[in-house]
Amino acid sequence: MSEHILAHLSGADAVLGNLIRAVGPCRLAPEADCQPFRALAQAIAHQQLHRTAANSILARLVHTCGQGAFPTPQMVLAASTRSLRAAGFSFAKVAALRDLAEKTLAQVVPDAATLLALTDEEIIARLTEVRGIGRWTVEMLLIFELGRPDVLPVDDFGVRSGFRAAYGLARMPRPQALAAFGERWKPYRSTAAWYLWRALELRRAGTLPIPVERIRLPRIARRRRRARARARAVAATASAATARDSARRRPRPLRGGDASSAPPRRSGGRNRARRRRARRSRAPASRR
């Protein structure tokens, strides 16, 4: 690792510089030969599993499907669901593995030479089209397989936990706030992430240095707050519209005065005579 990179990070961030001196030289070394299909297939196998269990599944895949070598996309598509399940893949992972093979043959997942010519965001956009492959998985490939220098996986639990430990925070940093704070580490954010992972090892060993300064993360409005604000604005607009509609429906006063001042209607003579006859018919016979 270049001394220039470590000097840049130490000069940009005193806390990170203290961590770098405690950890020592960066041992981040990318793979010499990146094979996108193999790397993503291995990532699918490792999802939600311990490393030992995932390696056992991959070993069975090599033995049964690849006949001693890592299988090609054609071999994966030719294998039955039963054989892939016997290797240890769940139904969801079988579907993801086959989708990866299909998209590799369709060149959605490019070969190594094409991959190296793409930018980080272009690689993320293309590889996340594969079922079961998310942004975090591609970021790990960018750092450890392709050796891209400026990748900060802000959704990674280890990076966020290491940041919290190294900077003495009471709470876990939110991904958006960590991304904003990490702007100062450009263009070497991959190295910064590697040291944040090491911060957890130092904490477990009891050798994590005390932060040399207190920091305050950028305040970023939460999506829930923005959603509630939008909902309140919509409700206020609807309430105002309802009030206007009800005002339009109110009866208008009669000309020449208020509606309450209009003279009451008089009953005609026919109605009075009809009521008189009805009272006589209900009266007792002694009163007739």
Instruction: Indicate which residues carry an active-site annotation.
Output: 156
Q: Which of 2, 16, 55 is CA-nearest to residue 166?
A: 16
Query: What is the token pair recorded at 230?
Result: 């939008």
Residue where the block lists tokens 């939110």 = 174
Q: How far is CA 173 from CA 151, 202, 204, in A?
A: 17, 19, 20
Q: How far is CA 21 from CA 4, 6, 265, in A?
A: 14, 9, 99
Q: Which of 88, 68, 67, 91 is CA-nearest to residue 78?
A: 67
Q: Which of 110, 48, 46 is CA-nearest to residue 73?
A: 110
Sequence-separated (6 or more) residues with CB below 8 Å from residue 67 = none
Q: Is 184 exposed, middle or buried (0-12, 13-18, 19+ CB in 10 A)?
A: middle
Nearest-angstrom CA–CA distance, 71 and 37:
10
Cβ–Cβ < 8 Å for 137, 129? no
Cβ–Cβ < 8 Å for 223, 41? no
Nearest-angstrom CA–CA distance, 94 and 88:
9
Neighbours of 66 (CB within 10 A): 15
